[in-house]
Amino acid sequence: MNASNERRLTMAQAIAEAIGQQMEGDPEVFVMGEDIGRYGGIFGATGGLLDKFGTDRIMDTPISETAFIGTAIGAAAAGMRPIAELMFVDFFGVCMDMIYNHMAKNIYMSGGNVKLPMVLMTAIGGGYNDAAQHSQCLYATFAHMPGIKVVVPSNAYDAKGLMAQAIREDNPVLFMYHKGIMGLPWMAYYEGSTTAVPADPYVLPFGKARIVREGRDLSIVTLSQMVHKATAAAAQLAAQGIDAEIIDLRTLVPLDRQAVLDSVRKTGRLLVADEDYLSFGLSGEIAALVAENLDTVRLKSPVRRLAVPDVPIPYSRPLEQFVIPQVEAIVAQAQRLMQATGVLA
């Protein structure tokens, strides 16, 4: 990486830059959504794009998610490459038919004759007291529905490369960014999400997890903001002589199953740390993956899962901090994994 590429960008800046560069290279790419133009997106994902590309390609829409997501689906079917922003993932309920029955299925329903090269971009996550209708992750909900690729970056470098790939895809992609790592000046965030980002365009392939930290004692499989919490937990565990490996999945669909299995084969212990709900979600999927491969994976202790209990996200800060897994909870679960095999007293 040359000196010109040593810039550090927030995740919001990296996403906006990726979109801008793809728009420069392809006149069929455009963006639409609520407050994405003059406001630059309430979480900064389209900052500066209106001034560069104008209202014909950066389009503020009315508050009608069904209308503008449906419009994006139609534009994609006609050969354009739209990016639509659903302001909060929690709002998918009002436009579920467009997402689940059209965006996800129309390629299949047309026998492959209709392509849908579109990105649905949305904000996820809590931790800032926005209550039950603005604080969920829900990526497992969409990963459960065939036909949508699901991308969930944890840092600026990954976000730029994955967004560029998402825009180039001929299949619909759900691109989910956690508000707590976007680098917003009005919101506390993990500094590790702001990274060196090359100025030139680049893509990162889907389905390739990243080993954030190598370790020998246990594997922590996670994604998004939880990567940074796991990293902080791993530092505390290291002081206790516990060497944790951290796997950042980066995409759920496609899922890098091999990276998970390789890590657990090495460490023999698995902790899944997740900000989505516990039941019927990512943590259960990863646990099942390992269980189905016990002929080649030797576990030293039972798999442990750490996720949001099956309750709405509370508005109360103490309650919200309690239900969303924190660094201390990751440390405690890792310690229990080690205690189960007598490594810790």
> Which residues are designated catalytic?
134
Angle between helices 257-267 and 282-291 (to 10 degrees): 60
Assign 252 to helix, strand or coil: strand
- Beta bridge partner(s), residue 123: 88, 177
Distance of CA 97 to the CA centre of its chain: 22
As a whole number of Å, the CA-based R_g of the chain is 20
How close are the terminal C-alpha atoms of the chain, in Å? 46
Distance of CA 329 to the CA centre of its chain: 21
Polymer length in residues for the chain: 345
Strands 244-248, 119-124: parallel, antiparallel or unpaired by DSSP? unpaired
Residues 6+ apart with CB under 8 A from 123: 42, 43, 87, 88, 89, 176, 177, 178, 179
Query: CA-to-CA distance for 106 and 99, rounded, in angstroms?
Result: 10
Return contacts of 317-323, CB within 8 angstroms, 24+ apart. Answer: 317/129, 320/126, 320/127, 320/129, 320/135, 321/127
Assign 178 to helix, strand or coil: strand
Residues 6+ apart with CB under 8 A from 345: 339
Residues 6+ apart with CB under 8 A from 122: 85, 86, 87, 88, 89, 92, 174, 175, 176, 177
Query: CA-to-CA distance for 138 and 281, rounded, in angstroms?
Result: 9
> Could you tell me if 130 and 317 are in contact, meaning their C-beta atoms sit under 8 angstroms apart?
no
- Beta bridge partner(s), residue 306: 273
